[in-house]
Amino acid sequence: MADVLALVEAQLRESFGEPDARAAVTFLGAERIEVLRFASSADGRPLVRYVTLGMSARPMTDPLDTAPDPLRGPRAELILSLRAGAADTDQVLRPLAVLAASPQVEGVVIAPGNSLDTGEPLWPRAPFSAVLVAENGGLVPDLPLDDPLDPVRFLPLLPMTPTEAAWKRVHGAPALHERWLTHSTDLRDPLRRAVPLS
């Protein structure tokens, strides 16, 4: 398992450079999850990326499978990108680690289009407690592993306000994406308001 995580970290360093901070969280019944922070910029503005490390050590399995394959199954890590300096977003480390541990702890299989809810603000006074899992491949290429292991996918997380999360449950992820695009929503803004939904 350590070899998989070493390959994952090497892939992250190749994509984002050296992390400027890292923190580790351990949950009962789960292996340690680390969260790496990478400083970056986009459109000339500072950006911070938080990336989990540890979720991909084991494949995600269907909780109803009574004899899961210990090698085969989807593997992933989570990426959250935010504008730097507008909020105390470093407090997202624990909620992000909770989401990354959910496949081990709760038997959740995380995939694009899923909604994940932490039940609390992602950071102090954040207008978000939920995220939408976006498609992989845009920020960090998938990491192929030796057979029979599935590749590791790096899944971006898009913060959702409570009204957006409720609207997504009714109308679906593509419809919410369309709303965001129509209104040129900056999904990296840690203080943004909900997109108009009517």
**Position 188 in a domain:** no
**Position 196 in a domain:** no
Q: What is the pLDDT of residue 27?
A: 81
pTM of this structure: 0.93
**Position 190 in a domain:** no
pLDDT digits (tens, 9 = 90+) for 129-158: 999 999 998 889 999 999 899 999 999 999
Q: What is the pLDDT of residue 137?
A: 82
**Position 189 in a domain:** no
pLDDT above 90 coverage of the chain, percent: 77
Number of domains within the chain: 1
Q: Is 155:134 a contact under the CB 8 Å cutoff? A: yes
**Position 193 in a domain:** no
Give the domain extent around 121. Answer: 2-182
In the predicted model, residues of the chain with pLDDT beneath 70 are 1-2, 63-64, 66
Q: Is 50:93 a contact under the CB 8 Å cutoff? A: yes
**Position 155 in a domain:** yes
Integer CA distances (angstroms), 191 to 86, 131, 148, in order: 7, 14, 43
Q: What is the pLDDT of residue 56?
A: 95
Q: What is the pLDDT of residue 167?
A: 95
Q: Measuring CA to CA, which residue among 113, 115, 152, 151 is closest to residue 135?
A: 113
Strand order of the β-sheet with 45-53 is 21-25, 33-42, 45-53, 75-83, 152-160, 130-133, 115-117
